[in-house]
Amino acid sequence: MPIATPAQYAKMLDAAQQGGYAYPAINISSLVTLNGALKGFADKNSDGIIQVSTGGGQFASGLNVKDMVVGAIVLAEAAHRLADKYNVLIALHTDHCQPGKVDSFLKPLIAETARRRAAGQSNLFHSHMLDASELPLADNMKLSQELLKLCAANEIILEVEAGVVGGEEDGVDHSDQPREKLYTSPEDMLAVYESLNGLGRYMFAATFGNVHGSYKPGAVKLRPDILKQGQDAVMAKYGKGAEFDLVFHGGSGTPVEEIRETLGYGVVKMNIDTDTQYAFTRPVADFMFKNYAGVMKIDGEIGDKKSYDPRAYLKLGEAGVASRLGMACDDLLSTGKTICGKV
């Protein structure tokens, strides 16, 4: 099945909202992690979302190029070809883009989709995230309005954020943010709805204490009830149709009971990155320790070509990503719920 069409992506989100489940959204940075993601979704018969960040795009373009747009395009085009071999729907998304990178990352990618559409081709990406949480909310929404109009003209969904996700990811560090900024208020959620309603389809990353990275149990204090309070405030004023498609950032390491609670409050997408990075690296490290003499030419020896062939250990990383992503599908209740072939 090819990569989802914009209409199929919209139906994916609708199905999750109506069915009380959510899609894992996994960041990739290479063909190996892309293949791990595709395997993970397919093995669980789950549709899903594959993401590229600015740093992931830059990495994928190579050390001499270091171009986040080129790398993102390369990964997306590879996904379009590879996903055709699977029987689940895959949507493509770009992760956190701060205001300072809108002109150098988001707009060129939107323009690439516009070029493809004019040539009769499918969208390159289905959705993009604007992370303007560093701005005052009014300025955040002004920029969000501009980009949502641009996205809507190309059948692209925009993800926005109000409030700040703590921790550090992809070179952006919010670990020093005041605690109150980690929680989006009902008033802010109302402001987001009133600013964006009617301009196009969007998802909303409201924050409820979530933090990027991995932490020991108890270190992160989530308040999923924040999401319910905001949804209730918006729907009380504007009706059931105003319910947000919410996004859970910083999902790695979250206890399953807290994940499941958010599903009842309108979360349809949960980002998982740190845990899948570890799931990739752990079996690779294990291989290196177990095959040290083979991967290293020690004391004049010749090593073992079968051990230092990158395929020997990268396939273990791919399998690790797929396995951990499968756990996320189970946690988010998307397992077995593909709508591929039904839309």
Residue 250 makes CB contacts below 8 A (sequence gap 6+) with 165, 166, 167, 210, 211, 212, 213, 220, 271
Residue 253 region by backbone torsions, left for phi larger than 0, else alpha for psi between -120 and 50, else beta: left
What are the CA-CA distances from residue 299 to residues 288, 296, 303 (Å)? 18, 9, 10
Look-up of token digits 């291989």 = 287
| Token duo for residue 44 | 């669980």
Task: Name the H helices within 83-202.
Answer: 107-118, 137-152, 186-196
The DSSP H or E segment spanning 81 is helix 68-82
The end-to-end CA distance of the chain, in Å, is 12
Active site residues: 95
Look-up of token digits 């925009």 = 158
Q: Which amino acid is at 98?
A: Q
Question: In angstroms, rounded to a whole number, what is the distance separating the alpha carbons of residues 151 and 130?
Answer: 11
| Token duo for residue 127 | 């959705």
What interhelical angle do 310-332 and 31-43 show, nearest 10? 40
